[in-house]
Amino acid sequence: MRAVLAAAVLAAFSAAQAQDKPAAAPPPSWQQGKPPASESTLHPFAIEMTGKASKDLPINKLKVPSGFKVEVWAEGMPGARSMALGDKGTVFVGTRQLKEMYAVVDRGGRREAKVLLKDLDAPNGVVFNKGTLYVAERHRITRYDGIESQLDNPP
């Protein structure tokens, strides 16, 4: 009787071990086909903010159609990305990776770029309408009324 019982237990145990294990759940759809990071040859490309002085730019190597010319309009705004023209001729310049908003003004025939606003969160969207500057950041849009009259003392 013991031998029969032992054989039955052994057979049951062997049958349980022989059963296929349930298949693992597939990864979420956004991850399917994506190689493990450790095996990936892809890597993020970190860009350099390489604002150069105008004297270091190879402007003379640029080819443009007859009647056109290339020149530096203003400098001193690393990361310049988007622009808006104010009613009084001020050019407002936003950046994407830096935290500053610039204003370019004409000072007696010479253009001067100055930091207008600081500590912004990617101020890339810039719109000027009826005396008001709108600056879009990642999480908000801020309105600056009468900003062209406050360039030397911005809010």
Domains and CATH numbers, the chain: 79-150 (2.40.10.500)
* pLDDT one digit per residue (tens) for the chain, 155 residues: 666 555 555 555 565 555 667 778 887 887 787 767 666 677 666 666 666 788 888 888 989 999 999 988 898 888 888 999 999 999 999 988 789 999 999 988 889 999 999 999 999 899 999 999 999 999 999 999 999 999 988 88
Among residues 92, 111, 119, 94, which one has the least CA distance to residue 103?
Answer: 92
List CB contacts of 144: < 8 A, sequence separation 6 or more.
117, 132, 133, 134, 135, 154, 155
Residue linked to tokens 């930091």: 115
Q: How far apart are CA 96 and CA 104, in angstroms?
A: 17
The whole model's pTM is what?
A: 0.65
Alpha-carbon span 43 to 97, nearest angstrom: 19
pLDDT of 123 reads 92
